[in-house]
Amino acid sequence: MNKSMLAGIGIGVAAALGVAAVASLNVFERGPQYAQVVSATPIKETVKTPRQECRNVTVTHRRPVQDENRITGSVLGAVAGGVIGHQFGGGRGKDVATVVGALGGGYAGNQIQGSLQESDTYTTTQQRCKTVYDKSEKMLGYDVTYKIGDQQGKIRMDRDPGTQIPLNSNGQLILNNKV
């Protein structure tokens, strides 16, 4: 073999390898590299979170009654009324005035004790709580409608994809690339 033939074979092999390399680099058009996003609709969930809301209120209490029948007031009133009634009249009139004074004093003492018992109150501060709910929205993802060429598809994504979704070499969506 001569040198020119060897040179020709070498050039031919080099040219064939160059064409193969160019073909493997995908220089030629192979279809779209991105899917076009037609729409991306946010999917939200309303979350209700409970919490306690408390406030202090003033409460009025009546003290326990020691003498429900008001006997003490009636007796003291009757004695005082009898003593005062005994100061009036003479003879038989004195006795009548004593009885009337005792009856009136007994009634008055009963009423006075009742009034005092009802107004014998005290106040305390109590904490009253109730459960209220705070509402918030939680983002679940996006319902995405996309188009590859003439074909349209739908998918749910955890983030807004923007205007395009990248495709792999097989024409499938690449969903895990981080932006």
Domain holding 179, by residue range, is: 32-59+135-179
Distance from C-alpha of 103 to C-alpha of 121, rounded to nearest angstrom:
30
Domain count for the chain = 3
Grouping H, G, I as helix, E, B as strand and the rest as coil, residue 92 is helix
94 and 109 share one domain: yes
Query: Are residues 165 and 78 located together in one domain of the fold?
Result: no
The DSSP output letter for 63 is P
In a domain, 45, yes or no: yes
DSSP helix/strand/coil, 156: strand
What does each of the 179 residues of the chain score in pLDDT, given as a tens digit? 677 776 667 677 676 676 666 666 555 555 669 999 999 999 999 999 999 999 999 998 888 877 777 677 677 777 777 778 778 777 787 777 777 777 777 787 778 877 777 777 889 999 999 999 999 999 999 999 999 989 999 999 999 999 999 998 888 898 875 54
Domain assignment of residue 144, yes or no: yes
SS3 52: strand
> Phi, psi at residue 133, to the nearest 5°?
-120, 125
Q: Are residues 93 and 110 part of one domain? A: yes
Kindly report whether the global pTM for this prediction surpasses the value 0.75. Answer: no
Does 155 fall in a domain? yes
* Residue 11 is assigned to a structural domain of this protein: yes
Q: Is residue 130 part of a domain?
A: no
